[in-house]
Amino acid sequence: MRLSTLFGRTLREAPADAESIAHRLLLRAGLARAMHAGSFALLPLGMRAMRRIEAIIHEEMERLGAQELRTPVVQAAAPWEQSGRYASYGPQMLRLTDRAGRALIVAPTHEEAIAGLAAGEIASYRQLPALVYQVHTKYRDELRPRGGLMRLREFTMLDAYSLDGDSAGLDEAYARVGTAFERIFTRCGVRSVAVEASGGEMGGREAREYMAISQAGEDTLAICDACGYAANLEVACAATANQAAGAVPAEEPDHPEEVATPGCATIADLARFFGVPQTATAKAVFFDTPERGLIFAVIRGDRDVNEHKLRAVAGVSTTVPATAEQIVAAGAVPGYASPVGLRPYDSGGVYVVADPSVTTGMPLIAGANRAGYHLRNVVYGRDWQATVVADIGLAQPGEPCARCGAPLRHAAGIEIGHIFKLGTRYAEAIGATYLDQSGSMRPIVMGSYGIGIERLLQVIVEQHCDAAGIVWPAAVAPLQVYLVRLGKQDATRIAADALYEELRAAGISVLYDDRDETAGVKFNDADLIGLPLRLVIGDRLLAEGMVELKSRASAAAVKVRREEIITTVYAGAVTGAVPPSA
């Protein structure tokens, strides 16, 4: 590949809207170009890096015995209606009709398609287990695509699906694919951490995400360095034992006591007024939902409600802050709301979700459902009951780990892969069944496993760069060698052309900088593009019978005799390092 005819060019400066170092480098090195919001074209160098990543994925899938297939990107809406996701998926799903008026979708994921294939192809337990995969396109109509290749509307994913006869088979497949994912990331040179996650709209259990720690990450992770616990903040847990010291004082009455609390507009104000820590208060938060109407979340005053957990617990699709009118209609008072005295949900009242932090039996200070007043000595079980008690707290930095009690910390992360145990949800909806050994029809048990390829590419660039540009790991570099021709003598041009052809004949991929540019421009572009090895052939080097060899990851360059360069480069191309013998 000659740089003089390469489709795509390097940029001295990245566009102003490039949001992260990796985003800027992808554009400056000529790997990708923005087409419109959430849509990027991969240029030849970017495409070659993608193909290297995909080759690793294919090798690891083959190692598992997985079989490659391909499902359509544009799919009939009917299977999605059967699974219920045509209605529930939301505006990210692009819906359309064909000329005959048939409802279609542009696939945001492929569970329904795989279940449909399994329904037609698998009839007996003898055909199980099976593991299939594709490296294919998905489309999600993201509201706010951002971050270069990190959140695209159209993107490429490894989609793997396990098909088993029972949960034990699913467990085994889940573990095997998880191990394969770890090998893929390691081979790509990516440092990642596996974290507990939400099953999301896919409805999976034991969801695990593979995260690259990154300041540019969209996800927040809660991590315990003491025991290794790690979870997406959406599902992260902290120890929630009530921190209000001591037992219920003997002199406390056996009922709540109303106290005037002028000017106490916040939990902090309330704690100061009573001279107690915020852990001795209860916080009331109201949400409106399409499925249950008003939800009243009660949590300890020093904690915040995790809306993702709340939606999962209450079984609702969305939560939005309730209006003052809705709160009043439920019998509560905004700013002074309390679960005490509210009508139970099963009697037409409010759906109350209590975090375990307020159900320990310790007396708390809560609203009195009367403006300007609060109740002290409120005890769960005696004075009020929740519709459901569940962890709805947002795990904060410094809170104790639920496993070992050590402090949690937060970190930003980029999701590069995920695995789910889907169970029989899609098989039952689509009718994917098999005949077991006893002659009974049973639903196929499914697992789903995915890696975002463009996102992984951007993470590789982020984790392997310096001030000058990209520093590609040898396994995924677009090409192995950057060949620089310096000087204007015809003999040098002829020698450089000959070396280029000789390298290619030896099976070494080369980007040949044959442009009539200065040495500074060529060296800057070599560092920016970041191929593992750089070769320089120039007038003086040619006179010495030498070629200069430098690893991108090293500051030192060495001279190698021209007749030894192919052998030396061939050895170094595997690792991207200059062999010691050079």
Residue 416 and residue 147: Cα distance in Å, rounded? 14
- Tell me the three-class secondary structure of 457-506, residue by residue: HHHHHHHCEECCEECCCCCCCCCCEEEEECCCCHHHHHHHHHHHHHHHHC
Residue 234 and residue 411: Cα distance in Å, rounded? 13
Residue 533 phi, psi (nearest 5): -125, 145
- Residue 241, pLDDT score: 53
Residue 104 and residue 86: Cα distance in Å, rounded? 10
- Quote the tokens at residue 242: 């009530």
Q: Is the dihedral of CA 528, 531, 532, 533 positive or negative?
A: negative
| pLDDT, tens digit, 9 for 90 and up, residues 271-323 | 999 999 999 999 999 999 999 999 999 999 999 999 999 999 999 989 999 99
Q: What is the CATH number assigned to the segment(s) 257-389? A: 3.90.960.10
Provide the Cα torsion 515, 22, 194, 576; round to 10°. Answer: 30
Q: Which residues contact 401 (CB under 8 A, 6 or more apart)?
A: 224, 226, 227, 229, 238, 239, 407, 408
- Residue 240, pLDDT score: 73
- Residue 245, pLDDT score: 38
Residue 564 and residue 53: Cα distance in Å, rounded? 31
First to last CA, the chain: 25
Q: How many residues does the chain have?
A: 582
Domain spanning 479-575: CATH superfamily:
Anticodon-binding domain (3.40.50.800)
492-501: long-range contacts, CB 8 A cutoff, minimum separation 24? 492/537, 492/538, 492/539, 492/542, 495/537, 495/542, 496/537, 499/535, 499/537, 499/547, 499/562, 499/565, 500/2
- Residue 246, pLDDT score: 38
Residue 10 and residue 286: Cα distance in Å, rounded? 53
- Please tell me the number of Cα atoms within 13 Å of 354 on its side-chain side: 19
Q: What is the DSSP letter of 4?
A: G
Compute CA distances 423 → 174, 176, 394, 426, 447, whole Å. 11, 17, 28, 8, 7
Q: What is the CATH number assigned to the segment(s) 15-236+410-461? A: 3.30.930.10
Domain ranges of the chain: 15-236+410-461, 257-389, 479-575
- Strand 557-561: give its sheet, edge to edge: 510-513, 481-485, 533-537, 546-551, 557-561
pTM of structure? 0.89
Please, what are the averages of pLDDT over each run of 10 residues along the chain (582 residues)? Answer: 96 89 96 93 98 98 98 97 92 95 96 97 97 97 88 95 97 98 98 90 80 92 96 91 44 82 92 94 95 95 95 92 94 92 89 94 91 95 94 94 94 96 96 97 98 97 97 97 94 96 96 96 98 96 95 92 92 65 52
User: Comparing C-alpha atoms, which of 176, 183, 152 is closest to residue 453?
Assistant: 152
- Residue 204, pLDDT score: 67
Residue 527 and residue 525: Cα distance in Å, rounded? 5
- Residue 361, pLDDT score: 74
- Residue 425, pLDDT score: 95
| pLDDT, tens digit, 9 for 90 and up, residues 315-352 | 998 999 999 999 999 999 999 999 999 988 988 889 99
Instruction: Answer whether 72's CB lies under 8 Å from 495's CB.
Output: no
- Quote the tokens at residue 34: 């923005």
